[in-house]
């Protein structure tokens, strides 16, 4: 086949490509058209059927959580707790549970307490007494003496809809800085966490909520809430890379007692002052063997510490 002088033959591969692209577009409903195949140096341009160019928009993430509103609504339900004991002075956090003046906190916050004072978000301070405590779950209930009529009990969530990656806020009294809020996400659920009980007689094992929200000494007993301002857990421990000689701050790994445990234990502590637990005991006739693994810096695990201020010498660190 001959062509007029000055006219370049159309590439056979270009024809095949054009037919293939047009066929694909027709199969998709004919929403797009392809233009400018004959212009050298200009690639195919995809335009929408109405003539507007289809341009890509960079993906972006914007948090839908109104943390200002959450903090304003929840802060009045979180209190600061000051404790005097034979070991010295300590401090922690708590949440207002009901209109009767019951406050939920950690058992290690009030361990050995001889005097307890509760300070509300607005600065009013009241004496309190221990209603009950349960070391095995690290939960305790306090009763405000002569509670005011305007207490703001915290809203709760049963935790069934919590998912890994969900946004959360921690509110408490870290290092005596009352009303401190930090945000993060749920990093893991049902995380087995073992810490030494306040009396050092037993270990507290919790299937905890792990969170990246900063939890520091003094946050113990404070609130972990979802983006609706509902309580999903009681902050209780942090992971630490220290050797146990001093208490460090947050490294982005904190733990909270989930509401499925809190609801059950708190109701019992309010009613009777104690809590009962169901245990499954397994008996084996096969002698157990102990496996000893030499310590290795490369395999070292972070230590877990109750989130209490450094002044509480009764707290112990366990691996």
User: Catalytic site residues?
Assistant: 108, 138, 220
Q: How far apart are alpha carbons 191 and 187 in whole angstroms?
A: 10
Report residue 95 as tokens.
């949440």
Neighbours of 18 (CB within 10 A): 16
Nearest Cα neighbor of 141 from 277, 312, 275, 319 is 275
Identify the CA nearest to 170 among candidates 246, 120, 108, 95: 95
Closest by CA position to 141, among listed 88, 178, 180, 98: 98
Query: Which residue's entry shows tokens 């024809």?
Result: 15
Q: Residue 169: which of 221, 122, 228, 218 has the closest Cα?
A: 228
Question: Partners of 226 in the beta sheet?
Answer: 168
- Nearest CA-CA partner of 274 in 145, 141, 158, 156: 141
Tell me which residue has tokens 């157990």.
Answer: 288
């Amino acid at each position: 086949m001959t062509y007029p002088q000055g006219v370049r033959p159309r590439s056979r591969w270009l024809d095949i490509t054009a037919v293939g692209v047009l066929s694909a577009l027709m199969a998709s409903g004919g929403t797009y058209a392809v233009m400018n195949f004959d212009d050298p140096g200009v690639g195919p341009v995809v335009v929408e059927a109405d003539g507007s160019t289809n341009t890509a928009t960079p993906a972006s993430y914007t948090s839908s959580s109104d943390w200002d509103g959450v903090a304003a609504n929840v802060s009045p339900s979180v209190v600061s707790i000051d404790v005097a004991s034979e070991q010295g002075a300590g401090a922690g956090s708590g949440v207002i549970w009901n209109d009767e003046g019951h406050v939920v906190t950690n058992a290690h916050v009030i361990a050995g307490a001889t005097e307890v004072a509760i300070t509300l978000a607005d600065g009013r301070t009241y004496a309190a007494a221990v209603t009950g405590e349960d070391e095995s779950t690290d939960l305790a209930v306090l009763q405000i003496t002569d509670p005011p009529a305007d207490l703001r009990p915290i809203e709760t969530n049963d935790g069934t809809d919590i998912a890994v990656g969900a946004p959360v806020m921690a509110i408490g009294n870290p290092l005596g800085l009352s009303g401190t809020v930090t945000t993060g996400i749920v990093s893991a659920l049902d995380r087995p966490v073992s810490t030494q009980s306040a009396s050092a007689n037993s270990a507290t094992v919790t299937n905890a909520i792990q969170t990246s929200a900063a939890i520091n000494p003094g946050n113990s007993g404070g609130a972990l809430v979802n983006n609706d301002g509902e309580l999903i857990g009681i902050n209780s421990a942090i992971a630490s890379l220290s050797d146990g000689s001093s208490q460090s701050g947050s490294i982005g790994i904190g733990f909270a007692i989930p509401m499925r445990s809190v609801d059950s234990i708190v109701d019992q502590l309010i009613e009777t002052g104690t809590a009962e637990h169901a245990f499954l005991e397994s008996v084996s006739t096969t002698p157990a063997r102990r496996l000893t693994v030499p310590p290795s810096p490369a395999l070292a695990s972070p230590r877990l510490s109750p989130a209490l201020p450094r002044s509480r010498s009764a707290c112990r660190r366990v691996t």
